[in-house]
């Protein structure tokens, strides 16, 4: 009898949620592996040894969702502290609240607009010659006009994505709301918070179930897939096929610790929208846990660059050539009858935590159903 029925590659949210569902609803023995020496994937958190501040190791992670089922799910495994992300943008014209809201508009244009007046003002600035925006820049010019686009978005986006905003899909800008009221919460969501003891403790509890074994520092070798009844793969889809057709484009980020003490910047996240500033944002991690008190501080400047072999893939770029290449990998993936490709990297999509949890729950539900009926997962 094989030691394990199922292999789950990746101990991030996707892998952990699927493992837990399979462990709860089947009698299978499940091995979860990760090439890193810790669980949590890119959501991993750990306390800084010197200050005790909880650090989001791979960049700031704020849990936000509209889905009640996802919110209830994570709350079974951790207590969430109340946190609302309120980002500030350090721009060539001064410091403003982001996303663009009524205060941003009034301060930026030196006005005292009502919601309706602000809406009309932005409409008057928009480029009406653009009918259906085909890219990031057109989306910005149509709905915000050139001044707001250049002050808040152009420089940041070039730094973040390393290409002309005309090459990027409009969907990236649509992630950010524009509000004609004074709500300055970064996310449009119903539920928002951060686990008091960090994401790693939360994911550890998801994985803490009978018949789940976690093996860390254990990279997956595609040749071993035949040893399992099914493999749930949450790594990069192109890496699974050893980049046979070439590499999908990803941006990676690096962090440089700032020599800081006390309260360094007075907020968790400040974006730097000026292209002349080399970093895209600065995060000060004690502000992600306002329920804790820390005399000292931990802050990082974040730099974005193109991935090279060995770098951690962070943001799927999904340029036209990437989407075409992805299609070729998806065709190969369809031929893998005993492997499912899931999660942000397995499907090469820009997904937030709540989306990968929601999709993993839905997917695991279907998988259990298929297994029960002897069908293909
Ligand atoms: P991952 O977390 O990437 O986990 C995949 C795991 O698979 C990794 O641990 C990796 O080591 C492992 N793996 C890959 N290949 C192999 C292999 N061959 N062998 C063994 N192991 C392998 N979302 C939000 O909701 N809110 C936020 O504020 C937010 N901020 C973000 C900030 C940054 C900088 C980034 C990059 C992402 C952010 N996200 C945020 C998105 C969030 O990180 C993802 O939704 C989430 O991490 C996806 O989980 P996953 O399990 O699919 O992938
Ligand atoms: N963006 C920008 N200026 C900012 C913040 C965001 O131009 O100050 C753009 C950028 O292209 C980014 C996109 O808006 O990729 C979506 O922002 P979001 O905060 O969702 O990006 P994330 O950091 O989650 O990738």
Task: Please indicate, yes or no, if residue 297 is contained in any of the structural domains.
Answer: no
Ligand 1 centre to CA of 353 (Å) is 8
Percentage of the chain exceeding pLDDT 90: 94
Percentage of the chain exceeding pLDDT 70: 100
110 and 73, same structural domain?
Answer: no
Task: Please indicate, yes or no, if residue 256 is contained in any of the structural domains.
Answer: no
- Tell which atom from ligand 1 comes closest to the C-alpha of 16: 51
160 and 132, same structural domain?
Answer: yes
**Confidence tier at 374 by pLDDT (50, 70, 90):** confident
**Confidence tier at 377 by pLDDT (50, 70, 90):** confident
Task: Please indicate, yes or no, if residue 254 is contained in any of the structural domains.
Answer: no
Ligand 1 centre to CA of 49 (Å) is 24
325 and 234, same structural domain?
Answer: yes
Ligand 1 centre to CA of 198 (Å) is 15
- Tell which atom from ligand 1 comes closest to the C-alpha of 44: 2
Decide if pLDDT at 80 tops 70.
Answer: yes
- Tell which atom from ligand 2 comes closest to the C-alpha of 157: 11
Task: Please indicate, yes or no, if residue 359 is contained in any of the structural domains.
Answer: yes
pLDDT of res. 70: 98
Query: Is the CB of residue 63 below 6 angstroms from any atom belonging to ligand 2?
Result: no
Query: Is the CB of residue 353 below 6 angstroms from any atom belonging to ligand 1?
Result: yes
- Tell which atom from ligand 2 comes closest to the C-alpha of 175: 20
Ligand 1 centre to CA of 288 (Å) is 19
pLDDT of res. 2: 78
- Give the total number of structural domains in the chain: 2
Ligand 1 centre to CA of 43 (Å) is 6
pLDDT tens readout for residues 275-330: 999 999 999 999 999 999 999 999 999 999 999 888 999 999 999 999 999 999 99
Q: Can you give the residue range of the structural domain that contains 170?
A: 101-174
* Boundary-marking domain end, from 117, 145, 174: 174
Going by CA atoms, what residue is nearest to atom 8 of ligand 2? 271
What CATH number does the domain containing 211 carry?
Answer: 3.40.50.720
120 and 63, same structural domain?
Answer: no
Query: Is the CB of residue 83 below 6 angstroms from any atom belonging to ligand 1?
Result: no
165 and 67, same structural domain?
Answer: no
Ligand 2 centre to CA of 174 (Å) is 9
pLDDT tens readout for residues 124-183: 999 999 999 999 999 999 999 999 999 999 999 999 999 999 999 999 999 999 999 999
Q: What is the mean pLDDT of the chain?
A: 96
* Boundary-marking domain end, from 131, 146, 174: 174
pLDDT of res. 1: 67
143 and 10, same structural domain?
Answer: no
Task: Please indicate, yes or no, if residue 227 is contained in any of the structural domains.
Answer: yes
Average pLDDT over residues 237-244: 96
159 and 241, same structural domain?
Answer: no
Nearest ligand to residue 13 Cα: 1
Nearest ligand to residue 353 Cα: 1
Q: ipTM strictly over 0.95? A: yes
**SS3 per-residue string spanning the chain:** CCCCCEEEECCCHHHHHHHHHHHHHCCCCEEEECCCCCCCHHHCEEECCCCCCEEECCCCCCEEECCHHHHHHHHCCCCEECCCCCEEEEECCEEEEECCCHHHHHHHHCCCCCHHHHHHHHHHHCCCCCCCCCCHHHHHHHHCCHHHHHHHHHHHHHHHHCCCHHHCCHHHHHCCCCCCCCCCCCCCCCEEEEECCHHHHHHHHHHCCCCEEEECCCCCCHHHHHHCCEEEECCCHHHHCCCCCCCCCEEEEEEEECCCCCCCCCCCEEEECCCCCCCCEEEEHHHHCCCCCCCCCCEEEEEEEECCCCCCCCEECCCHHHHHHHHHHHHHHHCCCCEEECHHHHCCCCCCHHHHHHHHHHHHHHHHHHHHCCCCC
Query: Is the CB of residue 313 below 6 angstroms from any atom belonging to ligand 1?
Result: no
Decide if pLDDT at 370 tops 70.
Answer: yes
pLDDT tens readout for residues 209-220: 999 999 999 999
Query: Is the CB of residue 11 below 6 angstroms from any atom belonging to ligand 1?
Result: yes
Task: Please indicate, yes or no, if residue 295 is contained in any of the structural domains.
Answer: no
Query: Is the CB of residue 358 below 6 angstroms from any atom belonging to ligand 1?
Result: no
Decide if pLDDT at 192 tops 90.
Answer: yes
Query: Is the CB of residue 339 below 6 angstroms from any atom belonging to ligand 1?
Result: no
Query: Is the CB of residue 187 below 6 angstroms from any atom belonging to ligand 1?
Result: no
Going by CA atoms, what residue is nearest to atom 1 of ligand 2? 153
68 and 106, same structural domain?
Answer: no
213 and 165, same structural domain?
Answer: no
Decide if pLDDT at 205 tops 90.
Answer: yes
Ligand 2 centre to CA of 280 (Å) is 10
pLDDT of res. 372: 86
pLDDT tens readout for residues 108-122: 999 999 999 999 999
- Tell which atom from ligand 1 comes closest to the C-alpha of 218: 20
Task: Please indicate, yes or no, if residue 350 is contained in any of the structural domains.
Answer: yes
230 and 142, same structural domain?
Answer: no
pLDDT of res. 310: 84
156 and 34, same structural domain?
Answer: no
- Tell which atom from ligand 1 comes closest to the C-alpha of 302: 34
106 and 27, same structural domain?
Answer: no
- Tell which atom from ligand 1 comes closest to the C-alpha of 239: 18
Query: Is the CB of residue 316 below 6 angstroms from any atom belonging to ligand 1?
Result: no
Task: Please indicate, yes or no, if residue 186 is contained in any of the structural domains.
Answer: no
């Amino acid at each position: 009898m094989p030691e394990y029925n199922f292999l789950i590659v990746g101990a991030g949210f996707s892998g952990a949620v699927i493992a837990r569902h399979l462990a709860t609803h089947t009698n299978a023995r499940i091995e979860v592996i990760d090439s890193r020496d810790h669980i949590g994937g890119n959501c991993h958190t750990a306390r800084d040894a010197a200050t005790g501040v909880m650090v989001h190791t791979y960049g700031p992670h704020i849990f936000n969702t509209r889905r009640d089922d996802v919110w209830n799910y994570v709350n079974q495994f951790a207590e969430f502290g109340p946190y609302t992300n309120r980002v500030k943008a350090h721009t060539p014209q001064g410091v403003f609240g982001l996303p663009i809201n009524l205060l941003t508009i009034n301060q930026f244009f030196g006005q005292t607009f009502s919601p309706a007046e602000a809406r009309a003002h932005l409409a008057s600035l928009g480029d009406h010659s653009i009918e259906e925006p085909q890219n990031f820049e057109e989306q910005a010019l149509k709905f915000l006009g050139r001044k707001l686009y250049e002050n808040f978005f152009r420089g940041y986006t070039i730094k973040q994505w390393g290409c002309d905003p005309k090459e990027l899909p409009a969907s990236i800008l649509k992630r950010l709301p524009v509000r004609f009221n004074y709500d300055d919460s970064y996310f449009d969501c119903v539920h928002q918070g951060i686990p008091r003891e960090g994401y790693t403790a939360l994911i550890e509890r998801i994985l803490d179930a009978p018949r789940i074994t976690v093996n860390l520092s254990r990279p997956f070798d595609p040749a071993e897939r035949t040893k399992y009844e099914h493999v749930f793969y949450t790594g990069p889809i192109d890496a699974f096929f050893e980049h046979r057709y070439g590499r999908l484009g990803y941006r990676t980020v690096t962090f440089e610790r700032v020599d800081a003490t006390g309260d360094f910047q007075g907020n968790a996240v400040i974006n730097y929208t000026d292209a002349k500033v080399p970093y895209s944002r600065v995060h000060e991690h004690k502000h992600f846990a306002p329920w804790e008190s820390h005399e000292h501080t931990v802050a990082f400047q974040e730099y974005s660059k193109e991935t090279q072999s060995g770098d951690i893939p962070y943001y799927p770029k999904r340029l036209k050539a990437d989407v075409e290449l992805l299609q070729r990998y998806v065709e190969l993936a369809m031929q893998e009858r005993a492997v499912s490709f899931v999660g942000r990297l397995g499907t090469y999509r820009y997904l937030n935590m709540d989306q990968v949890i929601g999709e993993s729950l839905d997917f695991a539900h279907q998988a259990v159903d298929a297994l029960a009926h002897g069908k293909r997962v």
